[in-house]
Structure 1
């Protein structure tokens, strides 16, 4: 069973994370399906913009740790790594629609989206140090540019939760609306983009991001080396073992 649903309408591909019983935690199979959706959108000329969303009560609680640990080494063949590379290379506009928990990758993937809209019930967290791990998805490079170095250190190392208004202040989201208004807001913006001249939109995105892609991919690779080392540490193993005993 796939927990990633896609719908193509009026030039907009909506990618929905639908595993609410597990708070939309991302399994390896879900990463594969997310990558496939992005690749499909990339190749289909009728798709002008993509939207990634969860439910109005939950975006994603992050990695399904139990499944993630079964994935083996974090090489370029790992489903999570393949998804991150696809996220960075995606050449069409990508909009995120965020409500409820957006934990770990649920926050870091937003840094690769072109527009992010949040419901006022959203809760963001980057709990890497709490798990004995380190930043991923190039967040160690992107977040300091958004928030400044000291605030980025606070968010990535202390790992405390922050709300939608904080995310707006940090430059992580474009606007905050009620959960009831979120889908309509995102759909309206997506349709507006879909109706703009395609080549102009893609050229604009390319000018904004292309010069950064190489350095972002290098940061991801650098982070992965530390991440895998930490994942194998006794300290991290003890923390994760305690997590599963809860």
Structure 2
């Protein structure tokens, strides 16, 4: 069975992370599949919004580190980098339905979504420093703008877990709901968006986010430079090796 499921209905594409046995950890092939789905969304005249989700138990535990380490240099040809650039350039609304663990990229990708609905069992975490790494996906730019510098430092550097109620208080999500309802609610919102005049919705999204796109892409490039350097450091290698032993 595919680890990224894509379905289309009522003008909405649903992208489901489907690797629950591995806590929906994202492999390079999964990044490529999600990118292909988003490109399809952009090109289709019949699709006007997308929902990205996991299961009621888990959104994603983040990168599949073993696979990620085999992916080579973090150039513009790297599947993860292509996915991030695609997220930044997306002109149609992307809605997230999140439940369970949302770790690392499972939290940072939400910062590129236009609406985010989280279940009351959601656990967010940005454990980059704990792995000897640094923020990614533009989070070092987006998060301080949303929550303030000192709170962003706390979340990105101390890397403690936080729940959906805290995420709502910080304006990182739109609503806290039951895990069994999160996908239904997100889909209804996506269908609502799909019924609106498409050019109006795209123009509105553009006015909200386009002014930051150039700067955000520059920030992502800077993050990738630091991230790759740190990933090759002995400190990070030892931490990650210890992680695999566990």
TM-score, structure 2 as length reference: 0.99
| Equivalent residue, structure 1, for 2:199 | 199
Q: Please state how far the C-alpha of 1:183 moved relative to its aligned partner.
A: 1.9
| Equivalent residue, structure 2, for 1:244 | 244
| Equivalent residue, structure 2, for 1:157 | 157
Deviations 1:74-126 (A, max 9, x none): 00000000000000001000000000000000000000000000000000000
Find the aligned partners of 1:48 and 1:134 in 2 and give their Cα distance.
34
Asked if the contact 1:50–1:95 (Cα under 8 Å) also holds between the matched residues in 2, the reply is yes
Asked if the contact 1:2–1:30 (Cα under 8 Å) also holds between the matched residues in 2, the reply is no
Matched length: 246
| Equivalent residue, structure 2, for 1:118 | 118
| Equivalent residue, structure 1, for 2:166 | 166
Structure 1 runs, 4 residues or longer, greater than 2 Å off: none
Find the aligned partners of 2:182 and 2:231 in 1 and give their Cα distance.
36
| Equivalent residue, structure 1, for 2:77 | 77
Q: Match of 2:38, SS?
A: helix
Q: Match of 2:184, SS?
A: helix
TM-score, structure 1 as length reference: 0.99
Equivalences for 1:96-111 in 2 at 5 Å?
96-111=96-111
Is residue 179 of structure 2 the alignment partner of residue 189 of structure 1?
Answer: no
Deviations 1:170-229 (A, max 9, x none): 111000011122122112111111111111000000111111100000000000000000
Find the aligned partners of 2:16 and 2:144 in 1 and give their Cα distance.
29
Equivalences for 1:48-59 in 2 at 5 Å?
48-59=48-59
Q: CA RMSD in A?
A: 0.6
Q: Match of 1:217, SS?
A: helix
Asked if the contact 2:10–2:194 (Cα under 8 Å) also holds between the matched residues in 1, the reply is yes
Find the aligned partners of 1:78 and 1:84 in 2 and give their Cα distance.
10
Q: Match of 2:51, SS?
A: strand
Mark the runs of 5 or more structure 2 residues left unpaired by the alignment: none
Find the aligned partners of 1:138 and 1:181 in 2 and give their Cα distance.
29
Q: Match of 1:192, SS?
A: helix
Q: Match of 1:55, SS?
A: coil
Q: Please state how far the C-alpha of 1:142 moved relative to its aligned partner.
A: 0.3
Find the aligned partners of 1:132 and 1:183 in 2 and give their Cα distance.
34
Find the aligned partners of 1:189 and 1:2 in 2 and give their Cα distance.
26
Q: Please state how far the C-alpha of 1:2 moved relative to its aligned partner.
A: 2.8
Deviations 1:40-71 (A, max 9, x none): 00000100101100001100000000000000
Asked if the contact 2:53–2:183 (Cα under 8 Å) also holds between the matched residues in 1, the reply is no
Deviations 1:139-193 (A, max 9, x none): 0010011111000000000000000000101111000011122122112111111
